C-alpha cells in the first residue's frame, strides 16, 4: 500500500464504503448514506461499492477492497472513510491503521450530525450521553495508549491502574451525571404533562422518518418558525406549541426528532426523555414522505422504533406529506367502516391541511370529556 501524501487532508472530503451483503434495499441505503454525510458537512465524496457474502472479521471489507479504498482516499485527499455499516472496535482500529485516516461507521456519522444540530441544553445532554455510551464500547482493546499503566497518587487511579480503567471510570462518572440531569428534565416534563391532563387538552405528537416534512407540517399547523430544511435530522429538539383547531378547541402539538433505518440503540436510549412526549401523546400524526419510493419501508422503520420506546399502542393517523411532488391530490381516505386510513397533504403548499384539521377535530371528539379515556383504536388503523 502506498504512503499517503503530505498534503493536509480535506475535512469536507470522504470516501463512502457501501458493501452489498444481499440486502433488498441496498441502493436506497447508499443514497441515504450520501445524504447523511452531506448533512454532516461533507461536500466532496466518492462511493466504493462491492459485494460480499459476509463481513471480513479483521477488516470488514477484505484486504483487496481496503487497498481500493486507500487509493480512492489518496486521490480524493479525504480526511475520513465512512462505512455504511456498524463496525466492531477491532475492525475500526485495524482499518485506521491500514488507511492512516479516521474511519467512521454509520452510527458515528449519525452521532456527529446530532452533535452538530443539538441546540437546547437537553438536546446537548442527550447527544453527549449517546456519544459517551458509544465511546465506551470502543475502549476495549481500542488504542495502544489505553494499555499503559499509571501510578496511584491521589485520585489518578490506584497503583497499577491501566489507562483503559481510568477512562472507563471517568466515562462512567460523566454518564451518571448526565443521566441525573436528564432525569430532572424528565420530571419537569411530567409536571407539564399533568397540567395538560388537568386542562383536558388533546396532545398530538408528530413522528416519522427523518426528512419526511414533520417540521414543515408543524410550522403550517401552529404558525411556528421551526427550522425546516431539506436535510436529514434538521430537527433534534422537541418543540411544543398550542394551537386552536376548529371544532376541537385547543390542542398541543409536539414536533419530535426523526427516525431512520437502524437508528442506534444508544440514541434511542439517550433521547428517551424527549421521546416520552410521543409515548404519552393521545394521538400520533405519522408523517410519511409520499414522494419517496421506499415510503413503505420507512413507515415500517418508524413503527419499529415506536414499538421499542413503548409508543406502539398510541393511536396514530397516517399523514402522507409532499403530495405536491406526486400526482396525488389532497384527500382523506377511509375504509368501508368509516375509519380513517390516511390524510394526503402538502405542508409546503398548504393543500389538504383543512382536511387534516378536520381529522384532528374528529379525534378530539372521540377523546371525549375525560382526558384519560383512550381514543377508540378502531378509528385509526395501524399501517401494514
Domain of 78, CATH number, reads 3.40.50.11060
Residues 100 and 241 in one domain: no
**Segments forming the whole domain that contains residue 34:** 12-104
* Among the listed residues 235, 365, 345, 226, the one whose alpha carbon sits nearest the alpha carbon of residue 286: 345
**What is the rounded CA–CA span in Å between residue 322 and residue 289?**
6
Residues 374 and 245 in one domain: yes
2 falls within a domain: no
Non-local CB neighbours of 177 within 8 Å, separated by 6+ positions = none
70 falls within a domain: yes
Query: Pick from 104, 134, 159: which residue ends a domain?
Result: 104
**What is the rounded CA–CA span in Å between residue 281 and residue 194?**
12
156 falls within a domain: no
Query: Pick from 104, 122, 145: which residue ends a domain?
Result: 104
134 falls within a domain: no
**What is the rounded CA–CA span in Å between residue 301 and residue 292?**
14
Residues 207 and 79 in one domain: no
pLDDT, averaged per 10 consecutive residues of the chain (384 residues), comes to 63 93 86 90 93 93 94 94 92 93 90 80 82 75 42 43 68 86 78 58 88 91 66 63 84 84 70 71 93 91 88 91 96 86 95 94 71 48 46
Residues 98 and 212 in one domain: no
Query: Pick from 54, 78, 104: which residue ends a domain?
Result: 104
Count structural domains, the chain: 2
Non-local CB neighbours of 91 within 8 Å, separated by 6+ positions = 55, 57, 58, 59, 60
348 falls within a domain: yes
166 falls within a domain: no
Q: What is the domain-level CATH number for residue 345?
A: 3.40.50.300
Residues 96 and 230 in one domain: no
49 falls within a domain: yes
Residues 331 and 218 in one domain: yes
pLDDT number for residue 84: 92
Residues 348 and 233 in one domain: yes
Residues 224 and 362 in one domain: yes
147 falls within a domain: no
Amino acid at each position: 500500500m502506498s504512503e499517503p501524501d503530505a498534503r493536509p487532508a480535506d475535512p469536507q472530503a470522504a470516501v463512502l464504503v457501501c458493501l452489498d451483503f444481499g440486502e433488498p434495499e441496498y441502493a436506497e441505503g447508499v443514497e441515504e448514506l450520501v445524504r447523511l454525510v452531506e448533512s454532516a458537512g461533507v461536500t466532496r465524496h466518492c462511493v466504493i461499492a462491492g459485494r460480499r457474502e459476509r463481513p471480513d472479521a479483521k477488516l470488514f471489507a477484505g484486504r483487496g477492497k481496503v487497498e481500493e479504498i486507500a487509493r480512492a482516499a489518496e486521490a480524493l485527499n479525504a480526511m475520513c472513510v465512512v462505512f455504511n455499516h456498524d463496525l466492531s472496535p477491532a475492525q475500526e482500529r485495524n482499518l485506521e491503521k491500514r488507511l492512516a485516516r479516521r474511519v467512521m461507521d454509520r452510527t458515528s456519522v449519525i452521532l456527529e450530525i446530532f452533535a452538530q444540530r443539538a441546540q437546547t441544553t437537553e438536546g446537548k445532554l442527550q447527544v453527549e450521553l449517546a456519544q459517551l455510551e458509544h465511546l465506551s464500547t470502543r475502549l476495549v482493546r481500542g488504542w495502544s495508549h489505553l494499555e499503559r499503566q499509571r501510578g496511584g497518587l491521589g485520585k489518578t487511579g490506584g497503583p497499577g491502574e491501566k489507562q483503559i480503567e481510568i477512562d472507563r471510570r471517568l466515562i462512567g462518572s460523566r454518564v451518571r451525571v448526565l443521566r441525573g440531569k436528564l432525569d430532572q428534565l424528565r420530571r419537569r416534563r411530567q409536571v407539564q404533562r399533568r397540567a395538560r391532563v388537568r386542562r383536558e387538552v388533546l396532545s398530538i405528537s408528530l413522528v416519522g422518518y427523518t426528512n419526511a416534512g414533520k417540521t414543515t407540517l408543524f410550522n403550517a399547523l401552529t404558525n411556528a418558525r421551526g427550522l425546516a430544511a431539506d436535510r436529514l435530522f434538521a430537527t433534534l429538539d422537541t418543540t411544543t406549541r398550542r394551537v386552536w383547531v376548529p371544532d376541537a378547541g385547543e390542542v398541543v402539538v409536539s414536533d419530535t426528532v426523526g427516525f431512520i433505518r437502524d437508528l442506534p440503540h444508544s440514541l434511542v436510549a439517550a433521547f428517551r426523555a424527549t421521546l416520552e412526549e410521543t409515548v404519552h401523546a393521545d394521538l400520533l400524526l405519522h408523517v410519511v414522505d409520499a414522494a419517496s419510493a421506499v415510503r413503505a419501508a420507512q413507515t415500517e422503520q418508524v413503527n419499529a422504533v415506536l414499538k421499542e420506546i413503548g409508543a406502539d399502542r398510541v393511536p396514530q393517523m397516517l399523514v402522507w406529506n409532499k403530495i405536491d411532488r406526486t400526482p396525488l391530490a389532497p384527500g382523506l381516505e377511509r375504509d368501508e367502516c368509516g375509519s380513517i386510513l390516511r390524510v394526503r397533504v402538502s405542508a409546503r403548499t398548504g393543500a389538504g391541511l383543512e382536511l387534516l384539521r378536520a381529522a384532528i377535530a374528529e379525534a378530539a371528539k372521540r377523546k371525549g370529556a375525560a382526558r384519560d379515556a383512550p381514543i377508540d383504536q378502531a378509528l385509526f388503523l395501524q399501517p401494514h
